[in-house]
Amino acid sequence: MMLTKKTITEAMYNAIRLGATKMPPDIRAALQKALAEETDPMAKKHLEISLQNADMSEKGNGLVCADTGFPMFFVHAGKNTEVEGGFNTLQECAAEATARATAECFLRPTMVHPLTRKNPGDNVGPGMPKLELVFDRDDDGLEILAAPKGGGSEIFGTFYRMMFPADGEAGIKKFVIECIKDACYAGKVCPPAIIGVGIGGTADLCMSMAKKAALLRPIGKHHSDPEVARLEKELYEAARKIGIGPMGSRGINAVLAINLDAAVTHTAALPVAVNAQCLVGRRWIARIDGAGNIDYTGEIE
């Protein structure tokens, strides 16, 4: 059965609406764990308010956070999936869903022309909403993950450096911890943040890995490569010792997780990228089966 544009647009709209109004369960659990750990009154208050905002948003009172930032869709298709008009229509569906969510005040109109700063008012324009499509499923459906990524985490939490191979693991650790400190010390990325780190590949692949590691992996899931997983754990423990807590206060939870991804790279290169996701971790998933039925969830498999 062919999936219709109407079905896909509806799924995208609801996924990004839910992403802006419902805190994913793994994020909520991680924030509650952080709240139980922190002792500084200001650190605890920040976490309490964030959780209260999420509760109010789920009841229809406002958003999880007002800065809904950059509208992004990550789409996974099955090898037998058929889409009305072809897969090039997915961008049209994403644009329509984004414009509707903006008009209904689930997204704040934050996208502007980079030079004129003209705001179209609907978060739609060249490059936005961002849509990435991969074919990695064995079925005939679609999985759509919508992530309205806040501006603060992207603006103040993005770093890249082409290191020398001789810098090695010690250099990677130093760079990542320095980035976390720069991003979190004044609450710029709204910590505790989810930190994605890309290592290897080309510059663009490295940055892409960092962003996906921050946005698309559930809290507590480690990389399948044991060496990469070891480095994740070591960096996480180091980040808990820099003295920064929620929203830049004193504490231990500057981060909720540090997720690494890695790719082979040139023998003379060691590219490293860092990308942060803010504490509310906005993302929601719509799954469409081959018959056009839609299921929504905050759980990432």
The percent of residues in the chain predicted with pLDDT above 70, rounded, is: 100
Domain assignment present for residue 38? The answer is no
Show the domain range for 86: 5-21+64-150+281-297
Residues 88 and 195 in one domain: no
**71 domain-assigned:** yes
**The domain spanning residue 131 has which CATH number?**
3.30.360
Question: Looking at the structure, do residues 230 and 156 belong to the same domain, yes or no?
Answer: yes
pTM reported for the whole predicted model: 0.95
C-alpha–C-alpha distance, residues 175 and 189, integer Å: 17
pLDDT band, residue 191 (cuts 50/70/90) = very high
Q: Does residue 44 form part of some domain?
A: no
Task: Kindly state whether residues 266 and 156 are assigned to the same domain.
Answer: yes
Read off the pLDDT of residues 240-249 as tens digits, 9 standing for 90 and up. Answer: 999 999 999 9
Residue whose structure tokens are 């056009």: 292
| Judgement on whether residues 159 and 142 belong to the same structural domain of the protein | no
pLDDT in tens, 249-294: 999 999 999 999 999 999 999 999 999 999 999 999 999 999 999 9
| 160 shares a domain with 146 | no
> pLDDT by residue (tens digit) across 228-241?
999 999 999 999 99
* 137, 176: one domain: no
255 and 166 together in one domain: yes
**Over 80: is that where the pLDDT of 65 sits?**
yes
C-beta separation of 102 from 12 below 8 A: no
Query: To which residue do tokens 């650790």 refer?
Result: 173
pLDDT band at 301 (very low <50, low <70, confident <90, very high): confident
In this structure, are 170 and 131 located in the same domain? no
Distances from the Cα of 184 to the Cα of 66, 109, 147, 193, 194, angstroms = 19, 25, 21, 8, 11
Instruction: Let me know whether 89 and 159 are in one domain.
Output: no
Check whether residue 135 and residue 120 sit in a common domain. yes
Q: How many domains does the chain have?
A: 2
In this structure, are 90 and 201 located in the same domain? no
* Same domain assignment for residues 97 and 189: no
As a whole number of angstroms, the distance between CA 145 and CA 157 comes to: 21
Rounded average pLDDT over 189-205: 98
Does 169 map to a domain? yes
